[in-house]
């Protein structure tokens, strides 16, 4: 099993994905962005013309899920994000994806010394024994602006207000679901990135990790 597991949870566009990448590069740990699993399942359902809210359709897509099914697909759109949070409220979907995430944490690829997982329920459900847990937040305005900057190049005319409402809807769905709702684990370090540059947020995370290493 990996000696070191770092869990990063938090709402959409909080900075947890960027931090997870920087941490995995810096410490040589394997990284799993668990949102891609839910986005992948949602994309498969949408691509087949299915309804993400239909429990059986989403559960079947999660059980059959494999990364090669989404090769080349654009899973980062806001439509796929919204559908991902719908399939993510389905317990059969979550159960089907749990083992893969735990195996990744326990024996990361290429025998890395540790694993970094980012998502919504890593510190609470997937890896409750993670060595270090972060709950990363930022104000909704800041998060909407960051996501808009990411998406506008490929989508000219996209309004920031549209993104803002999307993020709030998605956060509300993620926090309110019965199964593994988005939540900070009691032992998570809270990291508010609203007024932090990427460098400053990364430095703050390193101070916590190096204190435990």
Interface residues with ligand C5P (CB under 6 A) are 12, 34-35, 38-39, 81, 84-85, 88, 119-122, 170, 174
Residues written for the chain: 213
Least distance between ligand C5P and beta carbon 71 (Å): 17
Q: What is the CA radius of gyration of the chain?
A: 17
Question: Is 12 within any annotated ligand binding site?
Answer: yes
Q: Which residue has the tokens 């009691």?
A: 186
Closer CB to ligand C5P, 4 or 43, in the complex: 43
Question: Is 105 within any annotated ligand binding site?
Answer: no
Question: Is 16 within any annotated ligand binding site?
Answer: yes
Least distance between ligand C5P and beta carbon 204 (Å): 21
How does DSSP classify residue 118? E
CB atoms inside a 10 Å sphere around CB 198: 12
Calpha distance 144→44 (Å, rounded): 26
Question: Is 78 within any annotated ligand binding site?
Answer: no
Closer CB to ligand C5P, 89 or 205, in the complex: 89
Give first-to-last CA distance, the chain, whole Å.
Answer: 16
Question: Is 18 within any annotated ligand binding site?
Answer: yes
Contact 51, 57 (CB under 8 A): yes
How does DSSP classify residue 111? G
Q: Which residue has the tokens 């962005």?
A: 33
Closer CB to ligand C5P, 122 or 201, in the complex: 122
Least distance between ligand C5P and beta carbon 33 (Å): 7
Closer CB to ligand C5P, 52 or 111, in the complex: 52
CA dihedral (122, 123, 129, 132) in degrees, to 10, reads 110
Least distance between ligand C5P and beta carbon 120 (Å): 4
Question: Is 123 within any annotated ligand binding site?
Answer: no
Closer CB to ligand C5P, 85 or 137, in the complex: 85
Calpha distance 152→149 (Å, rounded): 6
Least distance between ligand C5P and beta carbon 44 (Å): 14
Known binding-site residues for ATP equal 10-18
């Amino acid at each position: 099993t990996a000696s070191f597991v770092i869990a990063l949870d938090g709402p959409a566009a909080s900075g947890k994905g960027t931090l997870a990448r920087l941490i995995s590069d810096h410490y040589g740990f394997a990284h799993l962005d668990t949102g891609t699993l839910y986005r992948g399942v949602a994309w498969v359902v949408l691509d087949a013309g299915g309804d993400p809210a239909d429990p059986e359709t989403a559960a079947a897509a999660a059980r059959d899920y494999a990364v090669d099914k989404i090769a080349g697909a654009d899973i980062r759109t806001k439509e796929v994000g919204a559908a991902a949070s719908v399939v993510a409220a389905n317990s059969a979907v979550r159960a089907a994806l749990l083992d893969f995430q735990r195996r990744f944490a326990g024996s990361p690829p290429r025998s890395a010394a540790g694993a970094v997982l980012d998502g919504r329920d890593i510190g609470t459900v997937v890896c409750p024994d993670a060595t270090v847990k972060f709950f990363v937040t930022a104000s909704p305005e800041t998060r909407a602006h960051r996501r808009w900057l990411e998406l506008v190049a490929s989508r000219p005319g996209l309004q920031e207000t549209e993104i803002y409402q999307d993020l709030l809807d998605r956060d509300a769905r993620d926090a309110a679901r019965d199964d593994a709702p988005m939540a900070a684990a009691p032992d998570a370090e809270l990291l508010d990135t609203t007024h932090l540059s990427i460098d400053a947020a990364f430095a703050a995370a390193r101070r916590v990790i190096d204190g435990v290493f």
